[in-house]
Chains A and B, each alone.
Chain A
Amino acid sequence: DAGITQSPRYKITETGRQVTLMCHQTWSHSYMFWYRQDLGHGLRLIYYSAAADITDKGEVPDGYVVSRSKTENFPLTLESATRSQTSVYFCASFGAGRVNTEAFFGQGTRLTVV
Chain B
Amino acid sequence: RKEVEQDPGPFNVPEGATVAFNCTYSNSASQSFFWYRQDCRKEPKLLMSVYSSGNEDGRFTAQLNRASQYISLLIRDSKLSDSATYLCVVRYNFNKFYFGSGTKLNVKP
Contact = CB atoms under 8 A, between A and B. Distances in A.
Q: Do A and B bind each other?
A: yes
Interface of A: 31, 33, 35, 37, 40-45, 48, 50, 58, 88, 90, 92, 94, 96, 99-108
Interface size class of B (residues with CB under 8 A): 20 to 34
5 contacts: A37-B41, A92-B97, A96-B95, A99-B91, A106-B43
Interface string B75-109: 00000000000010101001111111110000000
Contacts, number: 53
B59 interface: no
Nearest to B46: A102
B34 interface: yes
Contacts of A108: 41-43
Contacts of A35: 99
Interface of B: 8, 31-32, 34, 41-46, 49, 51, 87, 89, 91, 94-102
A96 B91 CA distance: 13
A40 B6 CA distance: 11
If over half of A's interface residues share one DSSP class (helix, strand or loop), that class is named, otherwise mixed; here it is strand
Given A37-B41, A100-B32, A45 B46 contact: no
